[in-house]
Each structure stands twice: as structure tokens, then as C-alpha cells.
Chain A
Amino acid sequence: MLGLDKKDSTLLLIVVALTMLAPFILNPFPTESGLAQFNAGYPDLMQRFVIFGIFAIGFNILFGLTGYLSFGHAAFLGIGSYSAVWMFKLLSMNIIPAILLSVVIAGIFALVIGFVSLRRTGIYFSILTLAFAQMSFALAYSVLTPLTNGETGLQLTLNDPRILGISQTADGSIPVTNLFGLEMRGAFDLVVGPWSFTFSAGYYVCAVVMLLAFYMSIRIFRSPFGLMLRAIKSNQQRLNYTGLNPKPYTLAAFVISGMYAGLAGGLMAAMDPLAGAERMQWTASGEVVLMTILGGAGTLIGPVLGAGMIKYFENIFSKINDNVLHSWFSFMPDGLEDSVVFIIHPFVGKGWHLTLGIIFMLVVTFLPGGLVEGGQRIARLFRRKKTVEPKSAKTEPAE
């Protein structure tokens, strides 16, 4: 199907099903129940899942295939966001030109930064990319404020000179980003008994883009180009001896993954028209590295899982406060309730970082291939009776 072999087609179909049904899958608990706290099926978080998924997929094309560890990829995400918001300010509230521009601009930056950084390998390469990203961040935060609006972040205002469109709506508010009239903030709720599911236009736009990005990445992984990238990773010297120059291939991979990051940044701005400088800070670059390794570097689906996991913790665990804990355990006798809350308290709410840190350590210690390996192990448990070990569709985790 679509030029994919059976294994990949199945994977793609599974991902299609998961993203399309996400509003159901992510909202498994009835709205009024105590466990509703764990529901993640609201538009903003679902959008974040797929957008960061795109970011991580792109990062994986570079890191998973070539082994080049970029520590400054967030710069492209930030640049994409700024381009998109400027497009909204100057041209039109339609998201198509904004996203196109963000991909192009991010691609240009990636070409320049990649061209310079790829003159070095290993950790020297990582530090070069880090240095470029940190410079972008520091300048965007301070000197470039006329362009980036500094600390506050670039926002739309009521007097933007929008060429194709209106500066403000009739009732005096800022127009909404749209796709040929389909408002990105539009959504409707489906109430089924005690459950409530939200279908957001913005989410489905992001999801479709993510599926395209995912499909592209499968094609790249399975193409001769992808094979070449893997050859670069396993032994660059040998490649040189055979008379092949690896540089154009790595540069192409770098630019492609930079454009993926720009696409993610543009989508982010399309969902919520604001671009902040923190998106380019090293912590943001580090986050996508962590997402990829956590999920399983070099695997197709791993980075998306990793992205989902980290964003879930950031948005769901940070909101569990003592009040919520007490309401969960209110069925217990008072003394017991207090001690249970006391034990859980450091790990949730303001302690969500701690839980995330522990999970990083546990996953990498016990699942060397990331979350994907965890999934494979579970799958193997069920398939143990079959004599033929299924051939893994995943590549080996990367260095």
C-alpha cells in the first residue's frame, strides 16, 4: 500500500487509527469521576502530542539514521513559530501560507547551520549546534526584541497590518487562525452518558499533517537515501574509501529534519498564535533529544511515544495537587488518608519533575531500546507460543 511493505502498512494504519480516534482513546474516564484527572483528550494537549510528535519524527531522521546528535534543534522550531506569527500579522490568518513560510525559513536556517556544523562530527558537532541555538535564543530574548517581542513572545495585536484580511473583527477582537474558513479553535463536544469527547478542528489538521510527516519518514527510512544515511552512521570512513562523499547526504538529512522542526513550530503557532523565545532554549532542544531516546531512537514510532509521554507528564501530573489527592483517597480512614497523600505528594503537582526524572532512569536502565522495546517485550510475551520469531520492523537503537 502506498509503496510500503506489509509491515510498514500495518504500522501506518495503526498510527492512523490511533490519531483519528485519539479523542476517545485519551478520554477513557467519565468526566465527573476522580480519575478524569488523567484524561488527556482536550484540544490543547492532543495538539501538543502530535506537534511534538512531528518534531521528534524529524529529529529522529537525523539522529536515528545518521547518529549525528544535534543539541540545538529547538532553534528551528522557534524560527518556524516566529515566521508563522509574522505571516499571520502581515499577510493572512490562513494557516497554509504561515506553515509554508515556517518550513522554508527553518529549512534555510538549517542549511546554513548544518553546512557549518557538519564540518565536525561527534560531540564537536553537538556543541556547534548547541552554540547556534543558544545564540538564537539569547538574541531573540534581548537584542532582537523588535522582531521577536523578547520575553513576552510575539503576539497578534488589534492593529496588525494584515494585507489579506481584517485587522480586527467587528466586535473588536483579534481574528482567529483558520484553514480556508475552518477555525482552528472550533470544536464540538460529544456527550455519551457520563463521558464527554471533544473533537477539535485544530487537532485534526495537526493529525493529518503528522500522518503525512510520518508517512514521509517511513519512506525516507526505507529508501536508498535512508540506507546511505545508515551507512554513514555505521562507518563513515569506509564510505569515504568507497569514493562516496557523505557530506551532501548528512546535510540533506539535517535540512529535512530542520524543516520538520519548522513545520512543528509553524503548526504550534497556527494552533495558538504566539511565539516565545523559550522555545529555542537548550532545555527545549534537550527535550526533543530525551523524547527520541525515551521512545527509542532509530525506530519509526518511538519518538512519537516519547513525545507523548513527556508532554503527558508535563500537563497532567503537574496539575495533581493535594486537594485532588485528598479527594481520591477520601474513602480511607483519616490517618491512613493523610499518610497516603503524604507519600504521593512529592511525586505529583510541583514534584512532576521528580517523577519524570525517575522514569527516565528506569526506562533507560531496564529498557535499553526505549519505550518501543517495552512494547516489543510485551508483544513477545503474547506471541511466545509461535515458533517463528517475528522479524522486527524496527532498526536497532542508535548511538
Chain B
Amino acid sequence: MDSIILQILNGLDKGSAYALIALGLTLIFGTLGVVNFAHGALFMIGAFCSVTLQRILNLSYETIDATQTDFLGNPLKVKTPYLESWFGPEMGSSIIEWSVPLAILFAIPVMIGIGFIMERGLIKHFYKRPHADQILVTFGLAIVLQEIVKYYFGANPIQTPAPEALSGIAQLTSTIVYPVWRIVYFCFSLLIIGAVFAFLQFTTFGMVVRAGMADRETVGLLGIDIDRKFTIMFGIAAAVAGLAGVMYGPINAPNYHMGMDFLVLSFVVVVVGGMGSLPGAVLAGFLLGILESFASMEQVITLIPGINQIIIYLVAIVILLTRPRGLMGRKGVME
């Protein structure tokens, strides 16, 4: 029983990452009709926002400690972060420790900015082009973004640990423990998903965007500058992907190809959820996350060897064959 509850928790946790990425992807699909293969790269850039902030906070000056030697036998250079010398070692190191939560503040403007530049500079020229062209250009962009990150940060993963207070484990019941940060991640993703839905549901801006998703031309004829609204939506989608990346850092250390690892999976999630449906994307994210967790249980693997390798794809096939437009897809969108 305990192990089943644990796997549900794991599934919800994986599911929140899938759901957040799929949500942003669907926003761009649904509003702009663009197949964005660079969405995984936005997730990755989000994670590297916190790496960058960590580097900035860790900017150091060097002092020479003659009592120790480095690997070549020269006197050891000891690095002290400026923050520690300005605010004292205690205060300074605790600021550095909180770099991941701080990176949220840092990432929002950066990601929205990147989203704006991408949309205005590149994507907007591709609204009227075939989907195949969109795939090629966004795939090219994803490679370029990825290679730039690799050039500056290397190919190895870089740890972005959670602050001491939020790491460690939580005792949920007498027998069930779960990492604190994973619970934080789950709550955070619910918060973001809720915020996006509320924004679309309860604001005039959201109303216009929803109208634009349903019938772009009519909204345009009504004299509403729908293009501008769509640019903002692209920025929001980029920010959602970026935040998902920032918060994911402490769970798994960011590396330059983490976006590609998630890309195919998030497309499967979006399509299983149904094209053009935001609730569908979220639902499919959690569903596939939970099923994936169950399939990796040892009892299941012994029963059906290799099932943990293919479960997501198997479920996708079954769902798409039984429900022609995924879980909640709208008719006529990218069919």
C-alpha cells in the first residue's frame, strides 16, 4: 500500500513537469497555431537562469593561502564570494543558498523577454507557413539555443541545490517519507497552472485570447489587435516553461540537452491530451506521469519485461485509437 502511495506521489511529481511544459506548448499551439520544437529549449534555458544566477551570486575574489597547495604544488588560491565579504559569511552564504527560489524572480523577466524576441523576430513570419516549415525553423532554433548554452556551460550537468530548509525529507505518515522539494515542485506547478487558467478565464485579456483561439479572423475584424495579444501569450508560454525549468533544477541537475529529453515526451502529452485543449494537456501530463511511475514498479516489470521503457508510448497509442482527438481535443485542430 505504502509503495502505491509513493508511486502516486512520484507520478504527480513527474506529471507536474510534463503538465507545465505541455501547458506552454498548448498555449502556443492553440493560440498561434505554431508547432514549437524550441519549447524544450525554453525549459532548459529556464533551468540555466538559475545556474546563471548561482554563478552571479558566487562571483568571488581570490586570496592566496600559502599553507595549502593546489594540484600543481603551487600555493592554493582560495575563492571567497563577494556576497560573503559584504554581508558576512553567514548572511552571504544563505543568500547564495537560496539562489533557486531567487532565480524565479530573475527568470520571469528574462523568459518573457526571450519569448517576445522569439515571437517578434522569428515566429511571426511563420504563422502562415506550413507546419513542416515551422518544425524546421523551431528545431533549428532549438539546436542553436542548446549549442550556445553548451558553449558557455559545458555538457556536464551542473547542480543547483535547493536551500537547506527546503531539502531533506518530509514525514508524511509514520511509514511514508517524501522529499520536501518535490512537494514544493508539485504545489508550485498547481499554482502556475491555476494562475494561467484564472488569467484566461477571468480577465478581459484572457477572454480576447480565448476568442482569438476559437476564431482569429472574426476577432481581428472586431478591431482588436490580436497579434499583440498573441505576442504576450508567447511570452507567457515561455515564462511558464522557464519557471518549470528553474524549479526542476534541484530535482535533476540541469544540462544542456535536458530540453530535448523532454521535447518528444511533451509532444506526446499534448497530443494525448487533445490538440487545443489546456485542461487536456494538464490531465494527460498527470495521467502519463502516474502511469509511468507505476510501470517502473518492480512487480510490474517482472510481469511484463520492458514495460517501463515503452509505457508512455503504449498508452498514447491506446488512447489515440480509442479517442480520435485525444482526451479532450477540439475538432479540426491540426487533424
Q: Which residues of A contact B (CB under 8 A)?
A: 63, 69, 116, 119-124, 127-128, 130-132, 134-135, 138-139, 141-143, 282, 286, 289-290, 293-294, 297, 346, 351, 353-354, 356-361, 363-365, 368, 397-399
How far apart are A358's CB and chain B's nearest CB, in angstroms?
6
Contact at B335–A69, with CB atoms within 8 Å? no
The residue that A368 contacts in the complex, of B122, B133, B142, B275, with Cβ under 8 A, is: B133
Main secondary structure of the interface of A (DSSP, over half): helix
Contact at A116–B140, with CB atoms within 8 Å? no
Contact at B271–A353, with CB atoms within 8 Å? no
Contact at A123–B271, with CB atoms within 8 Å? yes
Q: Which of B35, B324, B335 lies at the interface centre, i.e. has the most chain A CB atoms within 10 A of its CB?
A: B335
Which residue of B is nearest A346, CB measured?
A: B151
Contacts of B316 in A (CB 8 A): 127-128, 131
8 tightest A-B contacts by CB?
Answer: A360-B140, A357-B143, A143-B306, A131-B313, A399-B130, A138-B309, A354-B147, A361-B140
6 sampled A-B residue pairs with Cβ under 8 A: A119-B324, A124-B326, A124-B335, A293-B133, A354-B147, A364-B133
B117 touches A (CB below 8 Å)? no
Contact at B139–A297, with CB atoms within 8 Å? no
Q: Which of B132, B317, B334 lies at the interface centre, i.e. has the most chain A CB atoms within 10 A of its CB?
A: B132
Known: A123-B335, A357-B147, A397-B130. 13 other contacts (CB 8 A): A116-B317, A120-B321, A124-B275, A124-B320, A130-B267, A130-B268, A132-B317, A282-B264, A351-B147, A354-B143, A354-B147, A361-B140, A361-B144
How far apart are A217's CB and chain B's nearest CB, in angstroms?
19
Contact at B309–A143, with CB atoms within 8 Å? yes
Given A293-B136, A294-B136, check contact A119 B147 (CB 8 Å).
no
Which residue of A is nearest B131, CB measured?
A: A399
Contact at A123–B313, with CB atoms within 8 Å? no
A365 to B310, CA, bound (A): 36
Q: Which residues of B contact A (CB under 8 A)?
A: 35, 122, 125, 129-133, 135-137, 139-144, 146-148, 151, 264, 267-268, 271-272, 275, 305-306, 309-310, 313-314, 316-317, 320-321, 324-326, 334-335
How far apart are A4's CB and chain B's nearest CB, in angstroms?
27
How far apart are B32's CB and chain A's nearest CB, in angstroms?
15
How far apart are A84's CB and chain B's nearest CB, in angstroms?
24
A375 to B213, CA, bound (A): 38
Given A135-B314, A139-B309, A399-B131, check contact A360 B137 (CB 8 Å).
yes
How far apart are A374's CB and chain B's nearest CB, in angstroms?
14
Which residue of B is nearest A396, CB measured?
A: B130
A142 to B132, CA, bound (A): 32
A196 to B91, CA, bound (A): 69
